[in-house]
Structures are given as structure tokens and as C-alpha cells.
Amino acid sequence: MTNATESPEWTADLGRAVRLFRAFGVEQSDPARFYETLAADSVGQVRQYAELPGALLLDVGGGPGYFADAFRRAGATYYAIDSDLGELSGRGEPTPGTVLGSGMALPVADAAVDICFSSNVLEHVPDPWLMADELVRVTRPGGTVFLSYTGWWGPHGGHETAPWHYLGGHRAASRYERRQGHPPKNQFGESLFPITVAGGLRWARSCRTADLVAAVPRYHPRWAYGVLAVPGVREVVTWNLVLVLRRR
């Protein structure tokens, strides 16, 4: 049975894009709605590249359990690793099958999982391509890596400090603290780093142990996928990049 928040037929159309951006607008005020919507959509998107029923799936940066609920409903055996205990405990005690650990040194054996998934984490680690290599390492031959992240030069690159990040990450953080009376959750240079779309494409195309299956703007309708072909422009309008690789 399909959960009410999940569409039985995932389609990258304009209606889906509108739903996601509306949910994105309430990320701060209603995080449950946002993350439940994004998790359900992620299940549909991952299904385009891998079979979920019976698959062993590792979520790197799994957070408080929204993705766990969605992927388990879809039939996957789900485990998560997150370096932030506060994130894991966002809805109470961490769910069973979660581990505290670094995405840049995953406590997982080589070729251990069928699907390695990571959503909006790569921009929060100081060495993103080391983490990306780790996702590939733990995926079995023939398995799928699904990796998405927010590009720095996109409208939300500075996260809660956007759009002032265009004037510099430290300046945007200082402005946020003056206005809000407390520092931003995502501290530039500590838990938020300027990662580019071009960097992700370069890493994926040069990966020696996996083949690039797809590179798409995560939230866009299919007819807008062509923005990735335009250097410079893609850094601003891609918003969030999805990289899908197949382990050799």
C-alpha cells in the first residue's frame, strides 16, 4: 500500500516542483511538513534508479527519522549514519538502526549496501569529495549511489543566511546574528561550506569505481534539466544537484 504522502507514479513535472518549493517555504516554521514531503519525494526519485523492496539502504546524514519512515514503508532495510546527535534526536530518541559517525570515514565495510543515499549533507562537510568517495566505497558492485546537495551559488546556498551569502559567508552569518540575536545553525566555515555544481559534476565524471548514471537538478521539472549544460548559469539556477552513480 502506498502512503498518502507518496505518489504511486513519480513524475518530474511542474506540479511536483511547485509542491516541493511550497514545502521548502515552511522548512523553518513547519519542518515536519517539509521533511515528510521531501522524504516521500526522495523515495519516488530513488525508485527511478534502484529497486527498494528488500534493498539494504544506508542513509548518510539521516537526521531525525523522516527518511527512515519513508524508505521503510517502501520496503527497504534502512540504516542511517549522522555525525550530529542533535539531528538524530530531533523527534526524540534516535530510531533503531542509526549510528553516530562521520560521513568522511563511514564505519561500514566495503561493498556492504545495495543503495547509499545522502540528502543535503555534502555542503556541511569540509571535504565533500572524500565523503562522496566513501559513499561509493560502501556500495556493492551494481549498487546505486544517490547523492544530492545544495550548491553555494544557488538562491539557498547560504541556507538560513541566504541571500546575503552572495556578499560572503562570514558577512552573511554576522548579519544573521545581528538581526536574529543568535548565530545561524549552519556556521560558514564550520558546518557550511561553499560547494559548487561544477565540482560535483567533475567528481562524478572522474570517479574510478562508479559510473555516472544521471545528474539532474533535484527540484526542477524535467524540461528544465538542460540548465546543467550551461556553465556559470547552472551554479545559480540548479539550486540542488542530484548525482546518481552505479558502482562498478
Which stretches of the chain are DSSP H helices?
14-24, 31-46, 66-73, 85-88, 128-137, 169-180, 197-206, 233-237
Whole-angstrom distance, CA of residue 39 vs CA of residue 68: 8
What's the gap between Cα 126 and its chain centre? 16
Give the per-residue pLDDT at 148: 97
Using pLDDT thresholds of 50, 70 and 90, give the confidence band for residue 97: confident
Spatial distance between the Cα atoms of 171 and 178, rounded to a whole number of angstroms: 11
Question: Per-residue confidence at 167, pLDDT binned at 50, 70, 90?
Answer: very high
Q: State the pLDDT confidence band at 3, using cuts at 50, 70 and 90.
A: very low
C-alpha cell, 234: 547552472
Question: What integer pLDDT is reported at residue 241 of this predicted model?
Answer: 98
pLDDT of residue 5: 41
80 and 97 Cβ atoms separated by less than 8 Å: yes
Q: Give tens-digit pLDDT for 19-33.
A: 998 887 776 777 778
And the C-alpha cell for 72? 521503510
Start-to-end Cα distance in the chain: 33
pLDDT tens per residue, range 177-224: 999 999 998 999 999 999 999 999 999 999 999 999 999 999 999 999
Q: Which residues contact 247 (CB under 8 A, 6 or more apart)?
A: 111, 136, 139, 140, 141, 142, 143, 144, 145, 209, 210
Residue 1 has pLDDT above 50, yes or no: no
Calculate the average pLDDT of the chain: 91
Q: What is the pLDDT of residue 23?
A: 87
7, pLDDT greater than 70: no
pTM equals 0.91
Q: How confident is the model over 219-240, as pLDDT tens digits?
A: 999 999 999 999 999 999 999 9
pLDDT band at 101 (very low <50, low <70, confident <90, very high): confident
Amino acid letter for position 18: V
Checking if the pLDDT of 85 tops 90, the result is: no
